[in-house]
Amino acid sequence: MNLRRDVFQAIADPTRRAILLLVASHSMTAGAIASNFDTARPTVSKHLQILTECELLEQKQDGREIHYYINAKKMKEVADFIEPFRIMWDDRFNKLESVMKKYKSKK
Partner 1 sequence: MERKTKINAEDGKQDLVITREFDLPLELLFKAFEEPELVEQWMGTKVLKLENKKHGGWHFVTTDPKGNKYGFNGVIHEFSPNRKITRTFEMENTPFGVQLEFMEFEKMTDDTSKINMHVIYESVMQRDQVLQLPFRQGVNMAHNRIQEILSKLK
List the one residue from 63, 76, 105, 106 that touches partner 1 (CB under 8 A).
Answer: 76
| Helices and strands: H and E segment counts in the chain | 6, 3
List the one residue from 37, 55, 59, 87 that touches partner 1 (CB under 8 A).
Answer: 87
86 binds partner 1 per the rule CB under 8 A: yes
> Within positions 36 to 75, which residues make up the interface with partner 1, using CB under 8 A?
70, 72, 75
Sheet containing 28-29, strands listed edge to edge, beginning at the edge strand earlier in sequence? 28-29, 65-70, 57-62
Residue 63 backbone zone (phi > 0: left; psi -120 to 50: alpha; other: beta): left
Of 2 and 40, the one with the shorter C-beta distance to partner 1 is 2
